[in-house]
Structure 1
Amino acid sequence: MASEMMTVRQALNEATRAIEAIGPTPRLDAELLMAHALGLSREAMLLGHMDAPAPAGFDALLARRLGHEPIAYIIGHRAFWTIDLAVAPGVLIPRPDSETLIEAAIDHFGEGAPGDILDLGVGSGALLLAALSEWPMARGLGIDASPGAVAIAQDNADRLDLADRVEIRIGDWAEGVDRMFDLVLCNPPYVESIATLAREVADHEPASALYAGPDGLDDYRRLAPMLPRLIAPGGMAAIEIGADQAAAVLALFADEGLAGTVRQDLGGRDRCIVLTR
């Protein structure tokens, strides 16, 4: 597609038709790619640049999307809760479903606030940095086994002016962590190793952040014995789960003396186990 011969409007229409074959949101995808190519926000593009010449770089971005590369990796960022995060290959792309964990924490603390927050498997920093933005007096610790993820999370903390309230470090879940936290957040890998995922996920997002053994429960088995020593009295943990895993994960936590409840996401799917002390 020679988009440089078209206006932005014309190129968007052509790109939308092309993306329809591979994705559920073709127009949105096309607009995000075009805005990125123009160096503008999507809103600014739609309001004032639709009849401008399409930028030459748009074709290359479109080709990447047609190769099933996720939009977030192409444009380099993703909105989550009230913040915008840099993302790149090597970290899981934040999903709106994960905001269920932040909502559960807000409901738990009500008019109060957590003082110390732990995020196990911090990834891009989505959960931890969203929580710190919600509670400006809180401090946080984020741990991840991936040096690349730690670097991206630290960069996000710096960009969001949260670095003075957070420590992000390499680690193996909560090994070596010897104190309690008011709020523990965790979105572990929970996909069965034989599961078939969309190409956008399977071909591009890190397998280490997705797969967790034949039944998808391997990391919950590791986490369950750690959680009782991590949750402070009056505190809580919010642990993300797959939509059909609630009973199995609750049983693992119950074996460690932790009773939990299930919280659903906006789509009505089981998404979060809430554990309280």
Structure 2
Amino acid sequence: MRIDELLKGAIQRLYSISETAQLDAQLLLAHVLAVSTSYFYTWPEKEVSAADISRFNGLLERRESGEPVAYLLGQQSFWSLNLEVAPCTLIPRADTERLVEVALSVLDIGDVNRILDLGTGTGAIALSLASERPRSTVVGVDLVEESVALAKRNAIRNQLSNATFIQSSWFEALEGNLFDLIVSNPPYIDPDDEHLSQGDVRFEPKSALVADNHGMADIEYIIQVAPRFMKQGAYLMFEHGYDQAIAVQTCFVEAGFIAVESFQDLGGNDRVTIGRLK
């Protein structure tokens, strides 16, 4: 079967379950054929072998069941990086790049800083900051051992030597350490949120998504404990839900932080809130 015929059928199959059916189909076929998606526009008439069609159909079936494309490919682009992804942790999303942008805005490029990423997952945030601030050192922690191993592989994959990753339940393994900046994309979804049964998140670990107290429990804990691990004047910042900015700001103020401010994502939703230690 020709490439263009194969893609046309695949797009039709995915149309009802994905808003990006064409892109999904192209990415999956490019993965099978080990080519870039631009190849399809140059060689649409190329014949695809029976073995590759079989592999492609297998991936399409998994996508039809709702499995995220990133898990099917085993990788995801984030910031300037290409990251290995796995079902042990969340898939990095474009909204989280806003947290990276805000973090970089408080870090002068020539300064030597110590940065902590809590709940690092794939290492996306930590490695993005490490790549943009090479004189700084970044520590990423995660409760899940498999995620720590994944983040370490991503550091090697992206040739970044100024980021290290350790297993820790939040600050548990960090006694005696002080940081200039702490960032986190913690679990912040209400356990009763109906979106947990929809789309890609059905395949992602609930422990990385859900927090008690309407999604605020982990954010509240981090704000209370973080000052013990922050240098004077250091920043703490979170990614959070679109409707949680006021609650997060309140927690910061009640804990004595100053310069509390929220920033919007590309969709115009409050997505990142920061505070500075007096």
TM superposition score normalised by structure 1: 0.92
- Distance in 2 between residues matched to 1:114 and 1:175, nearest whole Å: 24
The AA in structure 2 aligned to 1:48 is: T
Counterpart pick for 2:17 among 18, 22, 42: 22
Deviations 1:97-136 (A, max 9, x none): 0011111122223554452111000000000001111111
Counterpart pick for 1:168 among 162, 165, 170: 165
Contact 1:231–1:276 (8 Å) recurs in 2: no
- Distance in 1 between residues matched to 2:109 and 2:115, nearest whole Å: 17
Contact 1:228–1:258 (8 Å) recurs in 2: no
User: Once the 2 structures are TM-superposed, how far is the Cα of residue 223 of structure 1 from its aligned partner?
Assistant: 0.6
Deviations 1:13-47 (A, max 9, x none): 1111111101111111111111011112223x234
User: Once the 2 structures are TM-superposed, how far is the Cα of residue 137 of structure 1 from its aligned partner?
Assistant: 1.5
**3-state SS of paired residue (2:274):** strand
RMSD: 1.6
Task: Point out where structure 2 has 5 or more consecutive residues left out of the alignment.
Answer: none
Q: Which residue of 1 aligns with 2:65?
A: 67
- Distance in 1 between residues matched to 2:63 and 2:125, nearest whole Å: 27
- Distance in 1 between residues matched to 2:112 and 2:95, nearest whole Å: 22
Q: Percent identity, aligned pairs only?
A: 36
* C-alpha distance 218-176 of structure 1, shift in aligned 2 (>3 A): same
- Distance in 2 between residues matched to 1:8 and 1:231, nearest whole Å: 55
User: Once the 2 structures are TM-superposed, how far is the Cα of residue 241 of structure 1 from its aligned partner?
Assistant: 0.7
- Distance in 2 between residues matched to 1:199 and 1:90, nearest whole Å: 18
In the TM superposition, 1:115-194 aligns within 5 A as 115-162=113-160, 164-177=161-174, 178-194=176-192
In the TM superposition, 1:241-260 aligns within 5 A as 241-259=240-258, 260=260
User: Once the 2 structures are TM-superposed, how far is the Cα of residue 175 of structure 1 from its aligned partner?
Assistant: 2.2
Q: Which residue of 1 aligns with 2:47?
A: 53
* C-alpha distance 25-139 of structure 1, shift in aligned 2 (>3 A): same
User: Once the 2 structures are TM-superposed, how far is the Cα of residue 251 of structure 1 from its aligned partner?
Assistant: 1.3
Q: Which residue of 1 aligns with 2:103?
A: 105
Contact 2:4–2:40 (8 Å) recurs in 1: no
* C-alpha distance 114-182 of structure 1, shift in aligned 2 (>3 A): farther
TM superposition score normalised by structure 2: 0.92
Q: Which residue of 1 aligns with 2:225?
A: 226
